[in-house]
Amino acid sequence: MIALAFTLQQGDFQLAIDLRLGPGVTSLFGPSGAGKTTILDAIAGLRRPSTGTIAVGDRVVFSSAQRLDVPAHRRHVGYVPQDVALFPHMNVRRNMLYGRRPGHRPDLSVVARIFEVETLLDRSVGELSGGQRQRIALARALMSGPEVLLLDEPLAAVDVELRRRILPYLSRVRDELRTPIVYVTHDRAEVASFADEVVVLDNGRATRHATRQEWLDGAGPAAEPPP
């Protein structure tokens, strides 16, 4: 469970959210500027809310009332932004192991199997195709043993065919590792094939929070307004 109840002011834009996200995959869906990436940044500790609380599982990572703001590197989240940034001076194995917390699962062999990159571990980053780089970036985020995986349009820069081939790997993360995923996308097909629940955002507000099927049917409850 991820509990979000906060406001965040950025210039003239205000994000006001009150959501409880369950296990599995939650898609944040809506137009550009709706606040989707800002929510991920707030969960990750990259942007500080003005007021409210953020909890990941049993851990409160931000509370304005308690003056608590857990640093990003201690929030135990994996974040894959839109622009994949692998370390060019490291091979694939070292990229995947970078930032791993000692003693935490999953093992390198498990993640390499899920993303089918076992044969790439000793290659340099410069030898990788676009799809391979994307899979390595996702694998690296998982290797930190995150309590939640945050994905900000990770497939926006790849073509439709490559996107179709990568999505099953993310489904395996959900099904085999049971890592909760919060997934930002503009692509309805990605939501239809991958998400368990959908939060529709517009102008800094959640206007609907529904299961995937309710969203596809145009049904489901409107999101609760923030307090």
pLDDT tens, N- to C-terminus, the chain (227 residues): 899 999 999 999 999 999 999 888 999 999 989 999 999 999 999 999 999 999 998 999 999 999 999 999 899 899 988 777 889 999 999 999 987 877 666 789 988 988 889 999 999 999 998 888 888 988 898 888 888 999 998 777 667 776 777 788 788 888 888 888 999 988 888 888 889 999 999 999 999 999 988 988 875 555 554 44
Instruction: Answer whether residue 172 is part of any domain.
Output: yes
Q: Helix crossing, 160-172 with 130-143: angle to 10°?
A: 20
Is there a domain that residue 41 lies in? yes
Spatial contact of 61 and 54, defined as CB atoms under 8 Å apart: yes
What is the per-residue pLDDT for 144? 83
Tell me what pLDDT residue 199 has.
95
pLDDT at res. 227: 45
The pLDDT, as a whole number, for residue 134 is: 84
pLDDT reported for residue 194: 82
Residues contacting 67, CB < 8 A, separation 6+: none
CB-based contact 178:148 (threshold 8 Å): no
- Domain of 39, CATH number, reads 3.40.50.300
Q: How far apart are CA 188 and CA 164, in angstroms?
A: 13
CA-to-CA distance for 66 and 12, rounded, in angstroms?
A: 26
Please check whether residue 227 lies inside any domain of the structure. Answer: no
Q: How many domains does the chain have?
A: 1
Q: pTM to 2 decimals?
A: 0.86
Domain-located, residue 36: yes
With respect to residue 199, please indicate whether it lies within any of the assigned structural domains. yes
Residue 211 lies in a domain: yes
Q: Do the domain assignments include residue 13?
A: no
**Alpha helical stretches, state H, 19-178:** 36-44, 92-97, 108-114, 130-143, 160-172
Domain that holds residue 92: 22-45+71-216
**In this structure, is residue 58 part of a structural domain?**
no
